[in-house]
Each structure stands twice: as structure tokens, then as C-alpha cells.
Structure 1
Amino acid sequence: MPTPRETILAALHARLLALPATALRGEVLPERIPADGLLILRDGEPGEPEVTLSPLAYHFQHRAEIEAVVQGADRDAGFDALCASIGAAIAADRTLGGLCDWVEAEAPRPVDLPVEGAASLKAAVIPVVLHYSTADQLA
């Protein structure tokens, strides 16, 4: 049986799969960027939990990351639309079906990356904070 952390990350990835862009999890950046854009979910860091006793509970603010990448002549508009679609997908259910207490994405810091012999890339890492509690730090 998967841990709550894995269940939450899988639910977030499933949410990203519903978007028009290609969504991967933990993969390396492919050589070609799909026309609709590319999203790569990174598991990130669970951080140091706050602990409550009786009953014992660990409260995490897990920082996952979504790498968003677009390429092409209209990459600014494409990147904006891709980021907006991520925000809408998260806002549609900020608890991921009750798996989290709260999910919130932070603002991206986009960069333009030149590619030799091809159109430039526009990319950013979008931090996503997942608030959840578990009874065991390894669960």
C-alpha cells in the first residue's frame, strides 16, 4: 500500500495529466518539447514536520516542484496559458480529493533558454506546497 506522501504526489500528477501539455513525473528533460508544452513533476522535499502529541501526528509542508517548459514562436503566450491551466487545476480541488489539508502553487520565475538550431525554450520551476499530516514520518 502506498504511503500518504506517494498517494498525494500521484494525485497531483494525475491532475497534471488532465492538462493539454505532456505531464511526466521524475523524468529527465526530453530532447523534443511537445507542441502543447511539457510538465515534469519533481517529488521535492517534505521538509521538517511540526509534531503534535496525543495522538502523534507529523504535519508536513512538502515542497514539490513542477517544471513547465514551452518552445516555439509564441512561447510567451503558451507559457502563460500553461501556468494558468496549472493554477486552475490546483484551484479546482485544493485538497486533492481530501488527501491534503491544502495545496498551493507559488509564482513561477520564467527564464528564456536559447537552443542551438531551434526555437528558444521558456521554462520555470513552479513550487507547489502540499500541506498534509501523517502518523509516521516514513509513511
Structure 2
Amino acid sequence: MLTFRETILAALHARLSALPATALRGDVLPERVPAEGLLILRDGEPGEPEVTLSPLRYHYQHRAEIEAVVQGAARETAFDALTASIGTALAADRTLSGLCDWVEAEAPRPVDLPVEGAASLKAAVIPVVLHYSTADPLG
């Protein structure tokens, strides 16, 4: 049985998997970046919850991260298209089918990474804040 947190992260990964880029979860950067780009979802940190009593609820602002990576001659355009597609996918359902109260991405901070003997990578970590509540911090 999956925990509520894992169910939310799996739903976010499924949303990213619907994009043209290859979407992985918690993996290391592979040797080759697919032509359409690569997304790696990192579980991130749930942070300290706000707690309400009667009924007992833990309210999280969980910060997951999406690593977005493109490679090739047109990497500026490809990176822009990839990050825009992430924004569109998240905006299409801000609650991940009712699992979250709200999902929002923060702006990426792109960097160019040189690769010896190959085209440079353009990459960024995109923080995604998942607002949700649960009755059990371990459930």
C-alpha cells in the first residue's frame, strides 16, 4: 500500500511521463540525453508541516524537484519548449486529480554544462511545491 506522499509523487511522475521528453524518477543522469530532452523527478523534502487539531491534520508544502536537461545545437529553443511543456502540464490540473490542494512550479535557473567531445547540456532544477494535507505524517 502506497503512502499518500508516494501516491502524489507517482501522480506527478505520471503527469511528466505524458510529455515528449523521457521522464525518470530518482535516477542518475544517463550517459546520453534523448533528443526530446530528459526529466528526472526528485522526491525532495516535505518540510515541517503545519498541524491542526480536531480533526488532526498535517499540512505540507512539499518541495519536489524536476531536473530538466536538453542537449544539442538548438538547446536554447529545446530547453524553452521543455520547460514550457512542464508548466502547461502542471497548469492543466493543479490538484493532480484531487490529491493536492495546489501544485505550482518555480522558475528554473538554467546552466550550460560543457561535455567533453559532445554538445553542451542545458539543464535546470525546477522546484515544484506540492500543497497537501494528511492525517498521518507516515501514512
Same fold judged by TM-score > 0.5?
A: yes
Q: Tell me which residue corresponds to 1:133.
A: 133
Q: Tell me which residue corresponds to 2:58.
A: 58
Q: Tell me which residue corresponds to 1:79.
A: 79
Q: Which amino acid aligns with 1:26?
A: G
Q: Tell me which residue corresponds to 1:42.
A: 42
* Segments ≥4 residues shifted beyond 2 Å: none
Q: Please give the alpha-carbon distance, in whole angstroms, between the structure 1 residues aligned to 2:55 and 2:14.
A: 31
Q: Please give the alpha-carbon distance, in whole angstroms, between the structure 2 residues aligned to 1:84 and 1:11.
A: 19
Deviations 1:82-104 (A, max 9, x none): 00000000000000000000000
| Runs of 5+ consecutive residues of structure 1 not aligned to the other structure | none
Q: Please give the alpha-carbon distance, in whole angstroms, between the structure 1 residues aligned to 2:100 and 2:79.
A: 27
Q: Please give the alpha-carbon distance, in whole angstroms, between the structure 1 residues aligned to 2:16 and 2:137.
A: 26
* Alignment of structure 1 residues 1-139 onto 2, 5 Å: 1-139=1-139
Q: Which amino acid aligns with 1:42?
A: R
Q: CA deviation at 1:43?
A: 0.2
Q: Which amino acid aligns with 1:67?
A: E
Q: Secondary structure at the match of 2:31?
A: coil
Say how many residue pairs are matched.
Answer: 139
Q: Please give the alpha-carbon distance, in whole angstroms, between the structure 2 residues aligned to 1:23 and 1:98.
A: 22
TM-score (norm 1): 1.00
Q: CA deviation at 1:125?
A: 0.1
Q: Please give the alpha-carbon distance, in whole angstroms, between the structure 1 residues aligned to 2:122 and 2:8.
A: 28
* Root-mean-square deviation over aligned CA pairs: 0.3
